[in-house]
Chain A
Amino acid sequence: MTATLTATGTTPAGTTPRGPRGLVWSVLRVHRTALVLWGLALTAATAGLIWMYVIADEARRAYLPCSEPVAADGYPSCSSLDAITADDYYSTGIALLTSALTFAIFPVAAWAGGALIGRELESGTALLAWTQSVSPVRWLAAKLAVPAVLLAAGTGALVLLNRWAQTDGNPNVVGDWYGPDVFVGIGPAAVGYVLAGLALGALAGLLVRRTLPAAGAGFASSLVLYLVLDHFRKDLWPKADRSQAGELELPRSAWQVDWNATWGRYPGEGTPRFTSATFHPRSHFWPLQLVETGILLAVAATATLAAFWLLRRRTP
């Protein structure tokens, strides 16, 4: 609390010679712990992804065809490939960082609800700031813009690094593109998620005006958003259909949504007479990503507008 008072109270008057000033500076200063944690997380993730890129080729070697004992056909021996440990580190590391990108929305929303808005309204430091030369609208704009820029830049950079470290995106090594923990972390939707989390958290903070309930409400609302999008993701773009007589096998990279077989006299025995499948081919990755990102940005914009409207109504 002391820190907050110092930051908002004295700094705008006692001009800092360099670096960010005024509101931006006070937001950075009050939330310096969050800033440091975000910086540490970004550094650790960047270092991890660079390491992943370094061992990427070695990890892929473990998935080459092999033979035992080594035959004249030129395949490497299976025990030599089995001895490679890089593939375990690589797959685990990529999976960890990709899911961290997917789930970043939850701590962001809880923080925005609790620390960014809720605490300031509960302890009255927001009201103090408004009696200085900062209007409530400018206060909220700074509170949202500074974290939004930092979050979008950091997440965007990590997504690009992640795609770079995944090199060829071999699904045996890095997981299928449509996996619930994979999809978000390899496209622009990751940025959409953190921004939506920030806006939902801020709205929760303004609605509840108390630290812990706001953190809980921010977390819960982002959880609902995440679960809803996860459930309806397959319906965000028209699906492809394929049907043929007999068996049907889709390529590995296809996201199978529905599968139906017409059987002869004895269901489940032998081969089916006719098979049809509904699926998303690999080429649907970008349309699905862009539609989901669009929805997330719309949610973020709506929540931000609602937050400003609420603030306007609350303050004269």
Chain B
Amino acid sequence: MTTVVTIETSTAVAPSRGPRGLVWVMLRVHRWALWFWVLLVAVGAGALLFVHGPGTDAAWSEYRAMGCDSPEVGQACDYSGPAISRLGLANSLGGLLNFVPLLAAAWAGGALIGRELENGTAQLAWAQSVSPARWLAAKLAVPAALLVAGTTLLTLLHRLAWSSAAPLRSIVPWREWYDDDIFLANGTLATAHALLGLAVGALAGLLLRRALPALAAAAVGLLVLTQALGSLRPYLWPVETLTQKGMYPPYTGMVLDDGALTSTGARVEDPLCINDTKCLADHDIVGFYRDYHPSSHFWPLQLVETGIVLAVVALAVLAAFRLLRRRTGAAV
């Protein structure tokens, strides 16, 4: 609390260089959060660069040394060596990107908005020459800019690491393009979700006006929203269908649904005849189908979902400003 008060006075002394006014206040009050963010981005970026370069090379040569790349792969490949474990660890550190939205929500609800309203330092700021709307705008804009910069950097590095680890994907626990965390980290969604965390946190802080309840509500709210938005994902772009006579088409991409086809082309549930021809004939099964998203649907799916998430962000920010205006009753 003491720090915050000091800061309000030190703005009057106007620093000679660097950011001024509200932006400077923001950076100064939340300097610990700033350092934490810099550290997190640095650790994530370092891990991803390691995966992109030396990590993958070392794991690859270890893999060869174990004789795993011979055409007939034996059981020895079940064994994971130290280089492969290191690569797995680096991958999970690179996956820190997936926790950014939750951290952003908790921080924005607790430290950014809730604490200031609980302590009354926000009211103090409004009594200075800062209007509530400008105060909230600065509170949202500065972290948003930093979040966008950091997540964009991590996303780009994640794409780089993802592409260079392609031949190793069968041995390290590094999965398919449509797995939740990979899908998020490889595109624009990581940034959109980080902004969603910030907006949800700010709204929770303004609604509850107390640090800890706002922190908890923001974290829970973000988890619920993320789950709900993620469950929409497969339906955001038309699926492709593979059909094949007599047996299932190959399993590829993000599979949504599969089953059997009758001679009229109707989709029915697979009666599980396997290879029993009489059973197949009894059920009038002539082929099988599979609905899926090929990897070429990555960007359409990614962009549609990003658009939806950004719309939710805009709604939350709008609601936050309206709430603030109603509370303070000031002409903005």
Contact = CB atoms under 8 A, between A and B. Distances in A.
B77 A260 contact: no
| Nearest 10 pairs of A and B residues by beta carbon | A268-B74, A267-B67, A78-B272, A268-B67, A68-B272, A268-B76, A114-B212, A69-B279, A79-B272, A212-B110
B115 interface: yes
B276 A268 contact: no
Contact of A269 (B70, B79, B213, B271): B70
A58 interface: no
Q: Which of A68, A79, A259, A268 is most buried by chain B, counting CB atoms within 10 A of its CB?
A: A268
B212 A263 contact: no
Which among A111, A115, A212, A261 has the greatest number of chain B C-beta atoms within 10 A?
Answer: A212
B111 interface: yes
Contacts of B74: 263, 267-270, 272
Interface of A: 33, 68-69, 78-79, 82, 107, 111, 114-115, 119, 122, 211-213, 215, 247, 259-261, 263, 266-270, 272
B112 to A, nearest CB: 10
B40 to A, nearest CB: 13
Contacts of B273: 68-69
A115 B75 contact: no
Contacts of A268: 66-68, 70, 72-77
Contacts of A79: 269-272
Given A68-B272, A267-B66, A215 B110 contact: yes
Interface in B25-62: 32
Interface residues of B, number: 30
Contacts of A111: 212
A269 B279 contact: no
Residue of A115, A211, A259 contacting most chain B CB atoms (<10 Å) = A211
Nearest to A81: B272
A259 B67 contact: no
A270 B70 CA distance: 13
Nearest to A258: B79
B127 interface: no
Contacts of B111: 212
A260 B79 contact: yes
A212 B30 CA distance: 12
B146 to A, nearest CB: 18
Given A122-B1, A215-B212, A268-B76, A68 B70 contact: no
A288 B82 CA distance: 26
Contacts of A267: 66-67, 74, 76
A269 B68 CA distance: 10
Contacts, number: 70
B16 to A, nearest CB: 31
A68 B274 contact: yes
Contacts of B32: 213
A212 B111 CA distance: 7
Contacts of B271: 68, 79
B154 interface: no
A95 to B, nearest CB: 15
A284 B79 CA distance: 23
Nearest to A33: B213
15 contacts: A68-B271, A68-B274, A69-B273, A114-B211, A211-B115, A212-B211, A212-B212, A215-B215, A261-B75, A261-B76, A268-B70, A268-B73, A268-B75, A270-B74, A272-B76
A268 B213 CA distance: 57
B78 interface: yes
B227 to A, nearest CB: 12
Contacts of B212: 111, 114-115, 119, 211-212, 215
Contacts of A272: 74-76
B222 to A, nearest CB: 15
Interface in B100-156: 110-111, 115
A212 B215 CA distance: 9
A69 B120 CA distance: 73
Contacts of A33: 213
Contacts of A259: 78-79
B193 to A, nearest CB: 20
A232 to B, nearest CB: 15
Given A212-B111, A259-B78, A260-B79, A269 B211 contact: no
A269 B215 contact: no
A33 B216 CA distance: 12
User: Most chain-A CB neighbours within 10 Å: which of B32, B66, B75, B273?
Assistant: B75
B279 A68 contact: yes
Given A212-B115, A212-B211, A259-B78, A269 B72 contact: yes
A269 B66 CA distance: 12
Interface in B267-300: 269-274, 276, 279
